[in-house]
Amino acid sequence: MKLYNTLTRQTETFQPQDGNTLGMYVCGPTVYDHIHIGNVRPVIVFDTMRRYFEGFKGWHVIHVQNITDIDDKLINKSIEAGKTVEEIALTYTDSFFELLKGLGVLQPTHTPKATDHVAGMIELIQGLEKAGFAYEQDGDVYFRVDRFEGYGKLSGRKLDEQEAGARIAASSQKENPFDFTLWKAAKPGEPKWDSPWGEGRPGWHTECVVLSHEYLGEHRDIHAGGNDLVFPHHENEIAQAEASTGKPFFRFWLHNGMLSIGGQKMSKSLGNFDYAKNVLAKYDPETVRYFYLSRHYRKPLDYSEVGLQAAQTAVTRLRTMLTDVEAELRNVSGTYGEEGSLFVASLSAFRARYIEAMDDDLNTVAAIGVLQELVSATNQYKAESTDEDRMALLDAVALLKELGHPLGLFSATAVRENGLEDGLMTLLIELRKQLRTQKEFELADQIRDQLAALGVALKDTAQGTIWSLS
């Protein structure tokens, strides 16, 4: 497995540092609003990575994704809405988990809230202050960036070349305009906690350091997020963590590219964004995942309806092969002959190429290409095979599902066990057949149309009528 490491600026061979157990920390949402389509990209990308690690590498992944439930944005939203910060956080935390479920994303191993770990953040800041890396001014505590020799190693920025900005706002209280906030003195009406520096709340950058130490311990293999977090957030995490322990923080830093719309950077300030829940209301989760994974995760991705519609068409093609084969061979058993054996033997090359693609810095673009080629080969064999050799098609279906799992595809197309569902469909198909024999075509068509309205498609073939979930 090779991954591009932002820290070293090169692609490196990756292996968990502790046997088969891997620790992966992915920066989570600030829960002041619904998740927008840009925030969805790291959720899907690193869920795919985790699925691949577990399914194809056999690694046990401890997946931590934090919930930032105290921040300036939350406070501003609570003022606008006339609600408490806690109420705002709870509303949008629930919304986030609903989104994960809707996207078919695996639940992270741990989803800690920042407010549950303030004591640990105070302890970290105290240690930094004692070591000379932090100082207090009027109830605020700042980190001395010029005291940490490695500052800038992740982003490549040098202090003398930087401009104060983003979350590192210049302040007359700071010794250096680039010093960043570890603790903020409380303002009237804001959430607050007692501390050695007076009542206040922790800064954003301290949160992830404490949570990663607590939930991953020494299993700090991968830290991931959008590339907009490289500076200042991730840079400031490294500074605090390594200043406090004297040890390297995370081994690999992975960052996905940003989303754009019409070639323009997407942002709420420009109003050129949409909420992820709105996209899921129009497109099924597998289409959404396919769209995001059809571009390499480190490259920018231009969001468009055209792109989503193309993804929908592509996913439909993959599903059609699955459902057609499953419907035709649902109640068939037996073994295939020589031609079937040759076809099954050819399938191993698809699996090998898929693994090669995913091992190459999670190249989902090439992996999706393998899936499409597998479907083409299967459809060709399906058109040419006869008799018992058609049973070999089930091996192709099984392989397509296996390769689709890390991508989050085909979760709803599993072969169903014989039972009530199949019995009822067999009954309806037989009734429709009798109606057609008796030239009661209108009633027969009503059965077909009403089943279609329920999402069940009937297909008349030379072997008889087959059904599938459309």
Q: How confident is the model at residue 418 (pLDDT cuts 50, 70, 90)?
A: very low
In DSSP terms, which residues pair with 275 in a beta bridge? Answer: 36
pLDDT value at residue 462: 57
Q: Residue 256: helix, strand or coil by DSSP?
A: strand
The pLDDT of 242-270, averaged and rounded, is 89
Q: Which amino acid is at 446?
A: Q
pLDDT value at residue 162: 61
pLDDT value at residue 422: 57
Q: Which domains does the chain have, with CATH numbers?
A: 2-256 (3.40.50.620), 320-404 (1.20.120.640), 420-469 (no CATH)
Q: Which amino acid is at 391?
A: M
Query: What stretch of H or E contains 101?
Result: helix 85-102
Contact 254, 224 (CB under 8 A): yes
pLDDT value at residue 326: 86
Q: Vertex 107, ends 230 and 351: CA angle to 5°?
A: 85
User: Is the model's pLDDT at 344 over the cut of 90?
Assistant: yes
pLDDT value at residue 468: 67
Q: How confident is the model at residue 24 (pLDDT cuts 50, 70, 90)?
A: very high
| Region of poorest pLDDT, from 68-77, 294-303, 423-432, 446-455 | 423-432
**Which of 452, 329, 345 shows the shortest CA–CA distance to 388?**
329
Alpha carbon 284 to chain centroid distance?
15
- In this structure, the strands spanning 180-185 and 200-202 are antiparallel
User: Is the model's pLDDT at 57 over the cut of 80?
Assistant: yes
pLDDT value at residue 308: 96
**Which of 224, 211, 214 shows the shortest CA–CA distance to 251?**
224
| Region of poorest pLDDT, from 250-254, 341-345, 431-435 | 431-435
Q: Residue 34: helix, strand or coil by DSSP?
A: coil
Radius of gyration of the chain (CA): 27
Helices 338-359 and 393-404 cross at an angle (nearest 10°) of 10
Residues whose CB falls within 8 Å of the CB of residue 415, separated by 6 or more in sequence, listed in order: 326, 330, 397
Q: Residue 318 has which token pair? A: 């993959």
pLDDT value at residue 469: 62
Average pLDDT over all residues of the chain: 91
The pLDDT of 20-45, averaged and rounded, is 96
**Which of 221, 265, 225, 268 shows the shortest CA–CA distance to 29?**
225
User: Is the model's pLDDT at 215 over the cut of 50?
Assistant: yes
Sign of the dihedral through C-alpha 161, 166, 172, 173: negative
The pLDDT of 9-28, averaged and rounded, is 96
pLDDT value at residue 420: 52
| Region of poorest pLDDT, from 191-195, 303-307, 332-336 | 332-336
Separation of first and last alpha carbons in the chain: 37
User: Is the model's pLDDT at 413 over the cut of 50?
Assistant: no
| Region of poorest pLDDT, from 100-104, 105-109, 201-205, 442-446 | 442-446
Give the count of beta carbons closer than 10 Å to the beta carbon of residue 396: 24
State the pTM of this model: 0.86
- What is the spatial distance between Cα 266 and Cα 271, in angstroms, rounded to a whole number? 8
**Which of 103, 339, 110, 81 shows the shortest CA–CA distance to 208?**
110
- What is the spatial distance between Cα 113 and Cα 106, in angstroms, rounded to a whole number? 18
Q: Per residue in 294-308, pLDDT tens?
A: 999 999 999 999 999
User: Is the model's pLDDT at 351 over the cut of 60?
Assistant: yes
